Amino acid sequence: MNHLIAPSVLSADFANLQRDVEMLNNSQADWLHVDVMDGLFVPNISFGFPVVKAIKQHAEKPLDVHLMIADPDRYIKDFAAAGADGITVHYEACTHLHRTVQAIKDAGCKAGVAINPATNVQLLKDIIADIDLVLIMSVNPGFGGQKFIQNTYNKIVEAKQLIASAQSSAVIEVDGGVDTSNATQLVQAGANVLVAGSSIFSGGDPSSAISGLKNA
């Protein structure tokens, strides 16, 4: 499969969200990555249901909702109702991960599990066959614009092996510090979906930044 690009709307201009979502509609973006932070699981607060609903109203591409929240079980149905197409929860935030994954699927969404930089890929062994996506964090979650962690490449290779040995159909997504300097190597290591926020929105031409990542 060719790799997909999922721009993170966390780096969009919230005062011009409709404009930025329409820019993404007209770009080579494949998904819209939507970062929800609760100020508890991560030290930052981003936005919640009303903003996800507003994005959904204008988006012509799937919403890839990344929940950086404690006990996400509490809100799976609400995020599905707000318009999520895929919901990714953190391994570190779920006491009963299998139940949470089933709840995401029951809500009609693709199910993803994210792991922090210090979380071992092998901990996904007993859930890998049940999920649609593995999200490997290449920064500590909570903020855009952080420095990419090099060990991510090793983790992608390990995740790929785990997926193959379980005959899982899960895709590998990488999130944090992704730009044109590392995109090619990430795809070569086995990444299927690249999330990027600041490298897309901080320059003058987000749409061509997306094309740059797409052509990596």
Binding residues for a divalent metal cation: 33, 35, 66, 175
Contact between 53 and 83 under an 8 Å Cβ cutoff? The reply is: yes
For helices 17-25 and 49-58, angle between their N-to-C axes, nearest 10 degrees: 50
**Which residue in the set 72, 83, 141, 212 belongs to the binding site for ligand DX5 (CB under 6 A)?**
141
User: Smallest Cα–Cα separation from 23: which of 38, 39, 7, 37?
Assistant: 7
Catalytic residue among 130, 132, 175, 179: 175
In whole angstroms, the minimum distance from the beta carbon of 2 to ligand DX5 comes to 20
Contact between 129 and 168 under an 8 Å Cβ cutoff? The reply is: yes
Contact between 173 and ligand DX5 by CB under 6 A: the answer reads: no
Catalytic residue among 30, 35, 38, 64: 35
**Which residue in the set 102, 119, 146, 185 belongs to the binding site for ligand DX5 (CB under 6 A)?**
146
Contact between 6 and 195 under an 8 Å Cβ cutoff? The reply is: yes
User: Smallest Cα–Cα separation from 30: which of 58, 79, 55, 64?
Assistant: 64
Among 52-60, 76-84, 157-165, 196-204, which window interacts with ligand DX5 (CB under 6 A)?
196-204
User: Smallest Cα–Cα separation from 84: which of 9, 156, 146?
Assistant: 9
In whole angstroms, the minimum distance from the beta carbon of 114 to ligand DX5 comes to 8
Contact between 46 and ligand DX5 by CB under 6 A: the answer reads: no
Tokens of 186: 């990430």
Q: Which residues are catalytic?
A: 35, 175
* Contact positions vs ligand DX5 (CB under 6 A): 8, 10-11, 33, 35, 66, 139, 141-146, 175-178, 195-199
